[in-house]
Structure 1
Amino acid sequence: MNSPHLPSTTERRTIVTTNAELQARRAAAVPRGVGNATGVYPAKAKNAEIWDVEGNRYIDFAGGIGVQNVGHGHPKVLEAVRAQLDNYIHTAFQVLPYEPYVELAEKLNRLAPGDEPKKTIFFSTGAEANENAIKIARGATGRPGVIAFQGGFHGRTLLTLGLTGKVAPYKLGFGPFPNEIYHVPFPSPYHGVTSEQSLAAIDALFKADIEASRVAAIIIEPVQGEGGFYIAPFEFLQALRELCDRHGILLISDEVQAGMARTGKYFSIEHSGVVPDLIATAKSLAAGFPLSGVIGKAEIMDKINPGGLGGTYSGNPLACAAALAVLDIIEEEKLLDRSLSLGATVIERCRGMARRNDITAIGDVRGLGGMVAVELVKDRESKKPATEFTGRVTAAARKYGLVLLACGPSSNILRVLVPLTASDEIVEEGLAIVERSMIEAAA
């Protein structure tokens, strides 16, 4: 029996297809466990715009889930990767180390907060970064316990699923998870959870579940990503730092989504003045090339024996070249300042929408720099999540040419992750679509 003919790369480029055809092929070839927020298949992307296989144009407010802070296909990133491609693609850093890895580590060590000497190791995904941050913390302290926060998202490996503070859809059916992981409430003033209550919950853990002397680390997203863009109060982060110092616990800042200029700082925890012991970074670090890292105080990082950390593809040379270009772009194009001004524009515009009589579902608008969320509720007094309404808004936005994602425990929070390099005109066009979509969804 003859095998079916599969089109070559050249043939595929000449085939005109549709999103529906590709979605049917996807359903037959890819497991349903990989969710899709849309059925849109891109053919081309540039800065903050995407064109699908049917020629439809979309403004990108998702950025590949916070990956495209410097925009799709930035010329400097492409140039750096092409140059590296001509040299070598992979040698495995553990076998033949290479300069781009070392140079990128040097730059991140200088950029990370704090005056102490630092060292950096690279991986491929945000989950790997968080998992290895926990490995480093446990190895350095000789302690097993880890404290994380409800609503937090740290990855999809078994260890990082244990850290993640949301069951559906991430943890369903995958247990048991690693032990000695404990969750406490994340402070959320909008929902009445104070910093004092969160700190009291940690104290209760020390009394009822695990003594402080057995806790290796507390891991926190200074701005929760999948959890709803809730911003940890700065005084809470400062109190966490003091608590960790008092008990010999390491503080890990998960900057996977909030890092690399997204909030107006290289790392979101910088806003609080707190210096963490370890930082996990990924997503926008390499503009879409798979790269993540753990940056930490040198005395902590060096407590792990050679061979205890690493990975075959970790710190791939192409990804390191892309990341070096990203850091140059952030500095040259003043994207820290751009993030702050962009965030102020988006927040002001969304709060203006909340004042309209025909849009009554906006319960809260919040943000840190260019990381902005709009929480949609059934009514502003009860603050019950308007999950179905949020789905109608994102669907309408897509119809009008905007890629817009929801997040939060009830998927009722719109999140804005537009590339920081997007023009004011593109941002305004996207915000106008958000407004139009909410009016339509409410009708």
Structure 2
Amino acid sequence: MTNEHLQQRKEAVIARGMGNLAPIYVDRARNAELWDVEGKRYIDFGAGIAVVNTGHCHPKVIAAVRNQLDKVTHSCLTVTPYAVAVELAERLVRIAPGPSAKKAMFASTGAEAVENAVKIARAHTGRRAIVAFDGGFHGRTNLTLGLTGKVAPYKAGFGPFPGDLYRLPYPNAYHGVSDDQVFEALRMRFKTDIEPDQVAAVVIEPVQGEGGFYRAPVEFLQRLRALCDEHGILLICDEIQTGFARTGKMFALEYAGIEADIMTMAKGIAGGFPLSAVVGKAEIMDAANPGGLGGTYGGSPIACAAGLAVLAVIEEERLCQRALAVGERIGGRLRELQARHPEIIGDVRQLGAMVAVEFVHDGQASRPNTELPKTLAAEAVGRGLILLTCGIRSNVIRFLPALTAPLEVVDEGMAIFAELLAEHG
């Protein structure tokens, strides 16, 4: 069996829209490494897009899943529930930032979590409008594409999208978007598009994921919290990519010291098993009537068992602290490379082990280099390294290794990246 043969078979039977970045087929994986069907080893700097924060096939996660397999694999949480879902919900409401009493609900994907967060916000407030941000990514369903602020490849050809969705610029010092400009844009929305007492919620990623790893300043998030309070608007924080120790805290919102009304969680929540959650203030979460939330597979007992094991690993192995060390290793090397190649590396961004490098022409932020990231990511595969691109301008490479990655493996991966950059810089 070869990668090429499997790629041909895949293209014959799987829709073209589900393209794959790398034409390799994984046979097995451990921690921060993959092996394909031809036996070649790869260092994984993608972690399934920030999903396996605890590493591929962590022994404690696998053991928890195997134990659950012998008990029950499915009965539907909204029909005949099970203890493991209750236990995970108890843990999630306990670790969610802020002093308010909270409740949770489960789904299977991040997009489902965002959709349900919007439903809950509308049910609680009786309002219709939702505000989101340029460059945000919230999923590929029709509603979440409406919230997502990037056309290609996500939104192209899929409209129309739901109404009563409004968008603002995202604060971005590197590209000259100040906090004040964002709030002025919001005031204009209130004057020209929608009255504030009809806005149910503002949805924001504390650090944009697909948008390019831009971080909302602490002061901006605090001001946004205050503005939402002033107008009775709910603050929904999308922590799908930033959650579960990725940024050096359990959730990125903790850096701002504020409490969201609703949070969405997925990706790193269950070590690769399909699970997402919405966690919010109890009185808000209870706005939906019985039967208004849920789904056939949401809160699968297998995934909930994995989620409990992930939380145990994060605590026992001190993965928040570990994320800081892994991220600093990568960020430090990228800053060295930036000093050598200032004409092509415009910016290096790092929060915990959520690290990005932005490529430009002639050192100018206004001149994005869109070809180099694609070239580096493609050629990295041949050298045994998995890299992910991103960015609203398609000029960013993001680094998302497992938080459990040995530092020598991180260094090995960065050495490959440095070699590639030297060849193309």
Alignment of 1:288-367 (within 5 A): 288-356=272-340, 360-367=343-350
Report how many aligned residue pairs link the two structures: 425
How far has the Cα of 1:168 moved from its partner? 1.0
Q: What does residue 415 of structure 2 align with?
A: 432
Q: 1-side partners of 2:267 and 2:365: how far apart?
A: 35
- Computed over aligned residues only, the root mean square deviation of the Cα atoms, in angstroms, reads 0.9
% identical equivalent positions:
58
Q: Which residue of 2 aligns with 1:252?
A: 236
Match of 1:209 among 193, 197, 216: 193
Contact (CA 8 Å) 1:394, 1:437: kept in 2 or not?
no
Instruction: Give matches, 1:47-58, under 5 Å.
Output: 47-58=31-42
Q: Distance in 1 between matches of 2:108 and 2:59?
A: 23
Aligned residue in 2 for 1:13: none
Q: How far apart, in 2, do the equivalents of 1:108 and 1:116 lie?
A: 13
Residue number among 20, 30, 41 corresponding to 1:36 in the alignment: 20
Matches of residues 19-168 of structure 1 in structure 2 within 5 Å?
Answer: 19-168=3-152
Please say if residues 174 and 365 of structure 2, whose CA atoms lie closer than 8 Å, have aligned partners that are also in contact: no
* Mapped contact 1:363–1:383 kept (Cα < 8 A): no
Deviates more, 1:381-390 or 1:193-202: 381-390
Moved over 3 A (4+): none
Q: Which runs of 5+ in 1 are unaligned?
A: 1-16
- Report whether the alignment pairs 1:401 with 2:401: no
Q: Is the 8 A contact 2:346 2:365 kept in 1?
A: no
Checking the alignment, whether the CA contact within 8 Å between 2:52 and 2:402 is kept in structure 1 is yes
Distance in structure 1 (CA, Å) of the matches to 2:364 and 2:36: 41
Deviations 1:159-210 (A, max 9, x none): 1011101111111111111100000000000000001111111111000000
Matched, 1:197 2:181: yes
Question: Could you say which residue in structure 1 is the equivalent of 2:248?
Answer: 264
Distance 1:57 1:214 in 2: 54
Tell me by how many angstroms 1:382 deviates.
4.8
Does the aligned pair in 2 maintain the 1:148–1:184 contact within 8 Å? yes
Alignment of 1:227-238 (within 5 A): 227-238=211-222
- Measured after TM superposition, the shift of residue 62 of structure 1 is 0.4
Cα deviation for residue 393 of structure 1 reads 1.0
Q: Deviations over 1:212-254 (max 9, x none)?
A: 0000000000000000000001100000000000000000000
Following TM superposition, by how much is the alpha carbon of 1:372 offset from its aligned partner in structure 2, in angstroms?
A: 0.4
Corresponding residue to 2:353 among 370, 377, 395: 370
The answer to whether the 8 Å contact 2:175/2:365 transfers is no
Query: Residue type of the partner of 2:397?
Result: L
SS of structure 2 residue aligned to 1:343: helix
- Give, in whole Å, the separation in 2 of the partners of 1:192 and 1:136: 34
Shift of 1:412: 1.0
Q: Which runs of 5+ in 2 are unaligned?
A: none
* Alpha-carbon distance in 1 for matches of 2:48, 2:325: 22
Which residue identity is paired with 1:274? I
Shift of 1:441: 2.2
What is the SS of the residue equivalent to 2:112? helix
* TM-score (structure 1 length as normaliser): 0.95
Structure 2 length-normalised TM:
0.99
Match of 1:187 in 2: 171
Structure 2 residue aligned with 1:410: 393
Asked if the contact 1:222/1:253 (under 8 Å) is kept, the reply is yes
Structure 1: distance between partners of 2:188 and 2:62? 51
Take 1:381 and 1:27, find their aligned partners in 2: how far apart are those partners? 39
